[in-house]
Amino acid sequence: MTIDFETPKPIAQMNTMLQTVAENMMRSTAREFDENEHAIPWDYIEFMHTAMRSMGGAGGLAPQEEKPKEGAEKRPPIGYQRLAAQIEMLAWGDVGYYLITPGGGLGAAAVQAAGTPEQKAKFLARFNEEKPTFAAMCMTEPGAGSDTSAIRARAILDEKTNEWIINGEKIFVTAGDKSFTEYEKLGKGFIVVWASIDPSAGRAGMRAFVVEAGTPGVKITKLEHKLGIRASDTAAISLVDARVPFDNLLGKPTVEKTTTGFKGAMATFDATRPLVAASGLGVARAALEFLKEKLKENGVEIRYGLPRQKLTSIEKDVIDMDVQLRSAWLMVLKAVWMADNKKSNALESSMSKVKAGDVTTKVTQKAVEILGPLGYSREFLLEKWFRDAKITDIYEGTGQINRLVVARQILGYTGAELR
C-alpha cells in the first residue's frame, strides 16, 4: 500500500464546514475566552456537538468505522487522517477552543486502546447521545511527569464489594473539569485514572480505571492559570478512597511479568501524538498566513521560485517557515496513515510530535519577530498564537521524552538502557 496525498473528498467537504466555524465562531470570540480563562463557551460546545452528531457522531479520538454504500468501491481507511485534518482546522481557528470540542479526547482514546468490546460499547457510545460529553486522561502526578513509570496512585481491590479503591493525586488534566464535574448542560463524562495495582511490579502493575463523573471521593482541587490554551480547562484532581466498579478496569486485573499495562498507555499516545502535532500545526499555519497577509498589505510579496541569493532576508525566512510547516504536516500524514492501516507507528508518532513542537514554536516566534510591534500587540491574535504554540512541545510527552522514544526505536535500546 502507498500513501495517497490527494485529500479525500469527505475530508475536503468537512474542512469547508469547519473553516466556516473557525472563522465565524472561534476567531470572533477567541480573545474574550483567552482573557476570561475559566468561562465556558457553551454556544460553541452545543453547536459542535449537534454538528458532529449530524455527521455520524464523533466518539472522541476513536475514529469512526466507515460503512460503504452497497455497490460502492471500497476505499482505504481514513479515520485518523480525517481526525488530523479536523483538528488542524479547528486549531487554526483557536486551539483552546479545539480542546473543548465535545468528545472523548484522551479518555476515549485510552478506552479505545485498552478496553474490551463491552467497555468500548458502554463508555464510547455516550459521546453520540443528546448532551455533549467529555472524557479526560489522568496520568501526570506531582512526582511523576514525563517518567510515567513513577506514578504513585494506588488501586486496591476490595474483595467484599468487588470494587477498586483508588487513592492518589493527578495534575495538569486537560478538560478534567468538564469531564468530571456534573454540569447540567453536559452528559455524564468520565476520567481515566492511571494507578498501580502492585507497586512492587513497577510498570507491569500499571492499570487504567474509568472513573465516572460524580464518583464520591474524587474532587477537582484546582484549575490552572496558563500561558496559552486558556479557553481549555486544566485541572488538578484528588482521589481519596474513591470506589470504582471492578469492570471499570481497562485490561487484565492480574500482574504478569510483561509490562502490558504500561504498553496500553503508550498505545494510546501512539494514536494521539500525531493528532496533537496536527493541532500545533494549525496554530502555526494561522500565524504564517497572518504574517503573509500583513506583509502583502505593506507591499511585500513573497517571490517563490527565485534562486535563494536573489531573495530578501524576509522572503527567505517566510519560505523557510513554509518548508518547515509542510514537512511537519507530511510527517503527521505518515503517522496517521499508519494508524489507519493498523501498522505500528511508535517511531513515526513521536517523530511527528517532535517536529511539530519545534515547527509550531519557531514559526509563531518568527512571525512575531518579523512583524515587531504588530506581532507583539494584543490588537491581533498573533501574540496569542505565540503563547498557544508552546504547549505543543509539552503535553502528551515533552520534546525531550519523544526524542528519547525516537532514539530507542532507531537504536533498539530499552528505556532502562537509554534514559
Rounded-to-integer distance, Cα 311 and Cα 41, Å = 45
* Residue 223 Cα distances to 148, 153, 177, 226, 395, angstroms: 22, 20, 8, 9, 16
Instruction: Return the closest-CA partner of residue 196 out of 145, 253, 242, 248.
Output: 253
pTM > 0.95: yes or no: no
| Residue 396 annotated to the active site | yes
Q: How many CB atoms lie within 10 A of CB 63?
A: 21
The dihedral sign for the CA sequence 264, 267, 271, 274: positive
pLDDT for res 60: 47
Rounded-to-integer distance, Cα 339 and Cα 234, Å = 28
What distance lies between CA 193 and its chain's CA centroid?
17
Residue ranges, the chain, pLDDT below 50:
59-62
Name the grid cell of 26: 472561534
Query: Would you say 37 and 390 are in contact if contact means Cβ atoms under 8 Å apart?
Result: no
Query: Would you say 31 and 228 are in contact if contact means Cβ atoms under 8 Å apart?
Result: no
Query: Would you say 114 and 252 are in contact if contact means Cβ atoms under 8 Å apart?
Result: no
Rounded-to-integer distance, Cα 350 and Cα 396, Å = 10
Give 326's contacts (C-beta < 8 A, 6+ positions apart): none
**DSSP secondary-structure letter at 144?**
B
Establish how many alpha carbons lie within 13 A of residue 370's alpha carbon, considering only the half-sphere containing its beta carbon: 25
pLDDT for res 56: 61
On the 0-12 / 13-18 / 19+ scale of CB atoms within 10 A, 2 is: exposed
Q: Catalytic residue among 315, 348, 383, 396, which?
A: 396
Rounded-to-integer distance, Cα 107 and Cα 173, Å = 10
Query: Would you say 273 and 396 are in contact if contact means Cβ atoms under 8 Å apart?
Result: yes
Query: Would you say 137 and 151 are in contact if contact means Cβ atoms under 8 Å apart?
Result: no
Rounded-to-integer distance, Cα 392 and Cα 102, Å = 20
Please name the helix (run of DSSP H) or strand (run of DSSP E) that holds residue 166, with its range, or none: strand 163-174
Name the grid cell of 286: 494561522
pLDDT for res 222: 97
Domains in the chain: ranges and CATH: 9-107 (1.10.540), 134-258 (2.40.110.10), 262-411 (1.20.140.10)
Rounded-to-integer distance, Cα 175 and Cα 99, Å = 7
Rounded-to-integer distance, Cα 296 and Cα 306, Å = 18
Instruction: Return the closest-CA partner of residue 235 out of 99, 62, 122.
Output: 99
pLDDT for res 13: 87
pLDDT for res 255: 76
